[in-house]
Amino acid sequence: MAAQLNTLLHAACEHVCPVPPVAGAVSVLRRRVAAVLAEWRVCPGIVDDSLLVVSELTTNAIIHARPPAALRLSWVRGDGDEVLRVEVTDAGPPRPEGQPLGGVDPDEHGRGEAIVHALATRHGIRVHPGGVTRWAELTAV
């Protein structure tokens, strides 16, 4: 019985969805994530920041990486801790480092990583045989 109660106290939710490499995908994903976070009753203090992190990580996957890409959200509630983890996994970079993006205004891009670092409690990149996963964790205060 204690184990079941402990499991309920340490509840976790997870949501996974594809990141289509098309114009308008980021706004659709933001709306979807907002609905999921509302359903999970994620504390309002991190919802806006998490939507911005989702936007930055998914935009990065669409613009800078090869498809397919997927977004994974994990909401973990434990002993006073509430952590939202945002992960975007893609198939890796499509071009060599330093090669300019055709048709992309450099003044409009390049700040995403700094934004994620500023908003996240923890963040990182994991390179694996299937591609690259960029992740960020936001902790409820």
Q: For the segment 72-94, what is each residue's pLDDT rounded down to a tens digit?
A: 999 998 777 899 999 999 998 76
Judged by phi (left if over 0) then psi (alpha if -120 to 50, else beta), residue 76 lies in: beta
CATH T-level assignment (fold) for domain 13-96+131-141: Heat Shock Protein 90 (3.30.565)
Six-digit token string for 20: 């289509």
Distance, in Å, from the CA atom of 96 to the CA atom of 6, rounded to the nearest integer, reads: 48
- Taking residues 53-58, report their average pLDDT: 96
Q: pTM here?
A: 0.81
Six-digit token string for 60: 């990065």
Q: Pick the range with the lowest mean pLDDT from 12-16, 80-84, 109-113, 123-127.
A: 109-113
88: β partners: 71, 134
Go through the chain and tell me how many residues it has: 141
8 Å CB contact between 121 and 137: yes
Strands (E), 4-141: 12-18, 70-77, 82-90, 122-128, 131-139
Q: Specify the pLDDT at position 77.
A: 83
Task: Give the residue extent of every domain in the chain.
Answer: 13-96+131-141
